[in-house]
Amino acid sequence: MFILLFAGFILLILIRVPVSIAIGAAVLMTFLTSDFSDALYIIPQQILEGVNKPSLAAVPFFIMAGNLMNVVGMTDRIFNFANSLVGHFKAGLAQVNVLSSMIFAGVSGAAVADCAGLGAIEIKAMKERGYKAEFAAAVTVCSAVVGPIIPPSIGLVIFAFLAQQSVERMFLAGMIPGIIIGLSLMFFNRILAIKNNFPTQPKASPKEVITSARDGILALVAPGIILGSILGGFVTATEAGVLACVYSIMLGFIYRTMTFSNFWKALTDTMLMTSVIMIIIGFSIAMGWLLAIEQVPQMIGYSIFALTESKNVFLALLLVFIILVGCVVEGVPAKLLLVPMLLPVIDSFGIDRVHFGIIIQLGLLIGIATPPMGIGLYIMVEVGKVPFERVSLAVLPFMIPLMLVLILLTYIPELTLWLPNYILGPDTPIN
């Protein structure tokens, strides 16, 4: 059954069937050929039970917050502030690109929102300053990887739901890795700048820095308000998402950029994206039920233990597997497919679930920038008006720092676990 399910899903993905439909069709096809074909009512039952979880209520609000920030002009102010700080560095606008994504990540937490929102501003500015369009697109899509690692993160909310972990612990676990990723990309930009003699720009005066900070102060404090309210225990993750939406709307009125058409666009984009994610989650829960009935996680565990009993070797195999899946399947459905199957194996090797969550999050995120299936590349083609082939080639060098950071985080779990354990105390393993 597992072979039929997985093969059917991958085949549908390869022929460009939308992910939500591909998962549903694969589940239905497998169900009809199984011993449960007379009990089709189980599928809608599993779907409804799967999406009817309080922890998932945060997802649409963080999506809405990201969309609102794009339409009310917060992204422009974040970009201008980052430009005043690091624009004079080697590969200045490339560094601005990464820093802007790190700041924006503290509010949105969605890589797609980063690509579509900041991407348009960043690519235009870089092209005007003499950077090649494909390089600008490559920097933008790779810096967007930071978004779903630095909290708040939609992907980490979904993982917390799947792995029965607290959202707060997952958010704290992503902070240090997100900063490391951002700094590694900035360091790599500097190396490329020295090698390729990228253009530079004059250093902003203290007055210009103060002016850009003053103009963007309300946008810049948003991450602190959102994260501080969650980690301080004042609000839940869902309430923080609502707070982010309300704050964005208030800024829209303060900046005088909020119009009915802007609000309607953000709302419709949110409804569309949320609908797709919830459909994927529902079908994935039904898929997970099928896999559990057939004892697929146990079979995978036995197969892995037959190959190796070494934790380090298993982690290496896990990285290769996650990255390969991430190249073909988008992050949310891939996580929903892999996490229930791999958790028993993860537990048997004594790997912390929070640590595993960051590993799989980053591994799958690398897939959004990896040819030929990376969704971020297709967004860059549309936003930056660059041929797909050129973006695909330009993005390959950036795989070096991303892969090195992934390996570093995998084999040094303290980089992920120190902060949540320090603030919240050690986690109690789930038996």
Q: Is the pLDDT of residue 429 over 70?
A: no
What angle, rounded to 10 degrees, do the helices at 237-254 and 260-293 form?
A: 160
Q: For residue 201, which amino acid is it?
A: Q
Q: Which of 170-174, 215-219, 318-322 has the lowest mean pLDDT?
A: 215-219
Contact residues for 378 (Cβ-Cβ < 8 A; gap 6+): 388
The H or E element that residue 201 is part of is: none
**Cα–Cα nearest to 245, from 102, 100, 58, 118:** 58
For residues 399-409, give the mean pLDDT: 94
Task: Note if the pTM is more than 0.85.
Answer: no
Q: What is the pLDDT of residues 82-91, one digit of tens each?
A: 888 887 787 7
pLDDT of 132 reads 86
Q: How many residues does the chain have?
A: 431
- Domain range summary for the chain, segments of one domain joined by +: 2-424
For residues 259-282, give the mean pLDDT: 85
pLDDT of 301 reads 66
- d(CA 401, CA 181) in angstroms, rounded, equals 8
For residues 372-392, give the mean pLDDT: 77
Percent of the chain at pLDDT exceeding 90: 16
pLDDT of 109 reads 61
Q: What is the pLDDT of residues 165-197, one digit of tens each?
A: 988 899 999 999 999 999 999 999 888 888 877
The listed range with the strongest mean pLDDT (76-90, 241-255, 348-362, 383-397) is 348-362
CB 58 within 8 A of CB 103: no
CA torsion angle 213 245 70 74 (round to 10)? -10
pLDDT of 406 reads 94
pLDDT of 221 reads 81
For residues 320-349, give the mean pLDDT: 81
Q: What is the pLDDT of residues 196-209, one digit of tens each?
A: 777 677 888 888 88
Contacts of 117-124 with CB under 8 Å at 24 or more apart are: 117/66, 117/69, 117/70, 117/75, 118/75, 118/78, 118/79, 118/144, 119/144, 119/379, 119/380, 119/383, 119/384, 120/383, 121/75, 121/76, 121/79, 122/79, 122/93, 122/96, 122/97, 123/380, 123/383, 123/384
* Tokens describing residue 417: 């676990």
Mean pLDDT of the residues in the chain: 82
Q: What is the pLDDT of residues 24-67, one digit of tens each?
A: 888 788 777 766 656 667 778 877 877 777 767 877 888 888 78
Q: What are phi and psi of 150, to 5 degrees?
A: -70, 130
* Tokens describing residue 194: 């020295």
Q: State the pLDDT confidence band at 276, using cuts at 50, 70 and 90.
A: confident
Contact residues for 66 (Cβ-Cβ < 8 A; gap 6+): 107, 108, 109, 110, 113, 117
Helices (H), 329-398: 331-348, 353-366, 375-384, 388-395
Q: What is the pLDDT of residues 83-130, one digit of tens each?
A: 888 877 877 788 888 888 887 776 666 666 666 666 777 788 888 878
